[in-house]
A and B are shown apart, each in its own frame.
Chain A
Amino acid sequence: MASKYIIIGGSAGSFQTVLQILNNIPKDYKHPIMLCLHRLKHVRGGFVEALSIKSKIKVIEPEDKILITSSKVYLAPANYHMYLEVSNTIALSTEEPVNHSRPSIDITFASAAYAFQGKVVGILLSGANKDGAAGLKEIKHYGGTVIIQDPKEASVPVMPNAAIQEVGNPDYIYTIEQIIDYLNSINF
């Protein structure tokens, strides 16, 4: 079991931000990072490679039921939802899209919230719909930390704004620089 689980959700306009985060986190980062990004459903390959160019941590697209370990980035595969299990594993599903999305950020956030409770750090970035808002609320409910990208800075502020409204009292509304500083400050 890891001591923290970093779960990042993003959609339209978040790709460069994710690259920037991964580029500024050390290779031996102590916590696993889960990435749930809206992506084209028919394009299976290429995304891991695109992230790996900037990422110092190894990026993988998990298979079903694999064990979660630290110092790895787990990218939700195209056209599957990605759940996190109490048993510290990943479960994938082909259930109906949620918020028109598969993978859905709400599903990854909500499953992490229940499975790892206070150990979860949920971060929501730029995007054009409301996916992630309900999931962040679950993270808050189970005692995790909620961080939302400052809508003033996000390329598409719809998703951060929806989340701020839904959660009511997020722990932090941060710029990307602040998100990176925060992630490095909990690297122990």
Chain B
Amino acid sequence: MVRITTYDLKTFTTHLKETLGIDLTEYAQSIMRRRLEVFLNKWNVSDIESLLMKLKDSPGLQNKFIEHISVDTTEMFRDPGFWRFFNKSIIKQLDKLRKINILVPFITSDDELYTLLVMLYENDLLDRSKIIATSPYEINLLKTASGLYTKKKLEIAKENYKRYKQNDQADISSYFQIINSEIQFSTKLINHTKFLKTDLITNYLEEIDPFNLILFRNRMIYFNLNLQNKMLEILYYHLAKNGYLIIGYKENISNFVLYDKLNKVDKNEKIYIKKR
């Protein structure tokens, strides 16, 4: 088994940034170490020097690596209680708007975006919504835009959806179709999304209206505090007054320099609103 030290990780991420422009230098170390170890063992690569060489030579492996590092293993309707709250409280506020601008930054997994699309559709808000999904990595955008979904994830989505609806008969399958034995999420719904390649860490979006909702759950956990703050500053800038910023149940933004300029909407959920 290959073991990675903190020093190895630093060397690797520094070289990766310099040579391929993939910047993982400020990711959470313990998680990155493990992901790197799993990747090396899975692809039978003996050390980080060899991995760097292989990544330089093979764009295919680069994509596999980015997918692996990106962590796409969250779930549709993860935390059904949160989505019930969202449905009860936030949807009602969004419904008051003539046009709803939504940002789903740094997508790695399709789950949060697809869940949001289902929520908007079921509440008749989709036609008024303009959704932008971003990622620094083309592969993640293509994957999400394709709608392709795995059977295993669909099984989990079915269970979560029933819990969200609190109805054992509720069935999320109608949002999926099977084409050539592949499972695909409704392209009719996905088509309401614009996919943009950008990192939102060093770059602001240009010529874009402020967002009424930024859905950013369980992404920052993969960053260190410094990187979290950089990204939060950009997201805050793009958030409309009275717009919602939503993060994961166990994420914490109390260290964010502009934390005082946000109000928490509910004591249990991590939903913040930008003060006027």
Q: Which chain A residues numbered 77 to 120 have a C-beta less than 8 Å away from chain B?
A: 77, 79-80, 83-87, 91-97, 107, 110-111, 114-115
Q: In the complex the two chains form, is A65's CB within 8 Å of B252's CB?
A: yes
Q: Judge whether B251 and A95 touch: CB under 8 Å.
A: no
Chain A residues within 8 Å of B222, by CB: 93
Stretch binding the partner chain, chosen from B76-84, B206-214, B258-266? B76-84
Which of chain B's residues have a CB closer than 8 A to the CB of A84?
30
Contact A96 B252 (CB under 8 A): no
B215 at the interface (CB under 8 A from A): no
**A interface residues, tally (CB under 8 Å):** 28
Whether the Cβ atoms of B30 and A94 lie closer than 8 Å is: no
Q: How far is the CA of A86 from the CA of B35 in the complex (A)?
A: 16
Q: Does B73 contact A (CB under 8 A)?
A: yes
Say yes or no: is B196 at the interface (Cβ < 8 Å to chain A).
no
State whether the Cβ of A63 lies closer than 8 Å to any Cβ in chain B: yes
CB contact between B221 and one of A42, A64, A86 (< 8 Å): that residue: A64
Write out the residue numbers on chain B whose beta carbons fall within 8 Å of the beta carbon of A93: 28, 31, 71, 221-222
- CB closest residue in chain B, given A91: B28
- Contact string against B for A residues 61-85, beta-carbon threshold 8 Å, 1 for contact and 0 otherwise: 1111110000000000101100111
Does chain A have a CB within 8 A of B41?
Answer: no
Note all chain A residues with C-beta closer than 8 A to B34.
83, 107, 110-111
Which B residue's beta carbon lies closest to that of A45? B268
A130–B251 CA distance with the chains assembled, in angstroms: 29
B74 to A94, Cβ gap below 8 A? Answer: yes
Q: How far is the CB of A77 from chain B (nearest CB, A)?
A: 5
**Contact yes or no, B28 A85, CB < 8 A:** yes
Q: A83-B31, A92-B250, A94-B73 are in contact. Are A44 and B221 (CB under 8 A)?
A: no
CB-CB under 8 A from A91, the residues of chain B are: 28-31, 221
Is the CB–CB distance between B78 and A79 below 8 Å?
A: yes
Q: Which of B30, B224, B250, B252 contacts A111 (CB 8 A)?
A: B30
Cβ contact within 8 Å between B73 and A86:
no
In the docked arrangement, what's the CA distance between A111 and B35, Å?
Answer: 12
Q: List, in ascending order, chain B residues with CB within 8 A of A63's CB.
A: 250-252
Among A77, A84, A92, A96: residue with most chain B CB under 10 A? A92
In Å, the complex CA distance between A86 and B32 comes to: 13
- Separation of A73 and B220 alpha carbons in the complex (Å): 24
Closest Cβ–Cβ distance, residue A60 to chain B (whole Å): 11
Q: Mark B235-250, 1 if CB is under 8 A from A, else 0.
A: 0000000000000111
A82 to chain B, nearest CB (A): 10
Measured CA separation A111–B224 after assembly (Å): 16
In the bound complex, how far is the Cα of B248 from the Cα of A110, in angstroms?
A: 24
Contacts of B74 in A (CB 8 A): 94
Q: Which 6 A-B pairs have the closest CB atoms?
A: A83-B30, A63-B252, A96-B73, A91-B28, A111-B30, A94-B74
A-B contact pairs, 29 of them (CB 8 A): A42-B79, A42-B80, A42-B163, A44-B79, A44-B81, A62-B250, A63-B251, A63-B252, A64-B221, A64-B252, A65-B28, A65-B228, A77-B249, A77-B250, A83-B30, A83-B34, A85-B29, A86-B6, A86-B30, A91-B28, A91-B31, A93-B222, A94-B71, A94-B73, A95-B35, A95-B73, A96-B73, A111-B30, A115-B30
Using a CB–CB distance below 8 Å, which chain A residues touch chain B?
Answer: 42, 44, 61-66, 77, 79-80, 83-87, 91-97, 107, 110-111, 114-115
